[in-house]
Amino acid sequence: MPQIDLYGPADTPYTVKCLSGLRLKGLPFTLHEPSGPEDYKRWNPKTGLLPAMRVDGELVIDSTDILLRIDQIQPDPPLLSRDPQVAEQQLSLEDWADESFLYYFQRWMQLVAEQPEPKKRRGPRALRALGAWLAAGGTWERPQAALLRGIDDRLADLVNFLGSRRFFYADQVSIADLGVYAMLLTLRSQFIEGTGPLLARQPSLLAFMERVEKATEG
């Protein structure tokens, strides 16, 4: 077996996705979590982003490419269907999970950063109202409420797409399931305030998460 070193914060969805893949495959590995900003550039000189993985010294970056490399190292169980059309759909869903929820995570961080300081002097009432209206995208809905409503819609999309199946696109865990699971886990952990109750209202997604966890408990 090759020496595998995974670098990244264990609680981020993209690292979670890679950890789940390694455990699903039963591959031995060592996780290295960063202790400061300098570790990001040191472990990934190309982009400074984590997770990254080294396989006998070979650097692999980007969580999707890491999973594909893991699949090469240990083909069983496969992360991609042997049917090219199904494999393309699995990759598309994994990418959708990455991009869709990344948007909401970034928007949440922006809202947190825009929170006014407690002692900050505020402008006239009319200007404050206009600012709130613009921040909500031209509606009177609060920005955080709009954000949570968008996430709730995406959860509903997943529920409809999963239907009565155990996993997405296959009868066993695939790359699509690892991508979706990692994002749902972050929502369950309340990284975005208010997402835990939204996920709790979707029992089929909670059951899906349990199935993925059982398959990757390693």
CATH code, domain carrying 64: 3.40.30.10
144 domain residue, yes or no: yes
Prediction pTM value: 0.86
The residues near 29 (Cβ < 8 Å, ≥ 6 apart) are 4, 5, 6, 22
Q: Verify that 89 and 66 share a domain, yes or no.
A: no
What letter does residue 26 receive in the DSSP assignment? T
User: pLDDT tens per residue, the chain (218 residues)?
Assistant: 899 999 999 999 999 999 999 999 999 999 999 999 999 999 999 999 999 999 998 999 999 999 999 999 999 999 999 999 999 999 999 999 999 888 888 888 888 887 765 554 455 555 555 555 455 555 555 788 889 999 999 999 999 999 999 999 989 999 999 999 999 999 999 888 899 999 999 999 999 999 999 999 86
pLDDT on residue 107: 87
Q: Verify that 15 and 52 share a domain, yes or no.
A: yes
Q: Verify that 186 and 125 share a domain, yes or no.
A: yes
Structural contact between residues 70 and 34, judged by C-beta atoms closer than 8 angstroms: no
89 domain residue, yes or no: yes
Map tokens 């995974």 to a residue: 6
Q: Verify that 179 and 89 share a domain, yes or no.
A: yes
pLDDT on residue 120: 47
Q: Verify that 158 and 200 share a domain, yes or no.
A: yes
pLDDT on residue 116: 64
Which domain, by its residues, includes 62?
4-73
Q: Verify that 67 and 93 share a domain, yes or no.
A: no
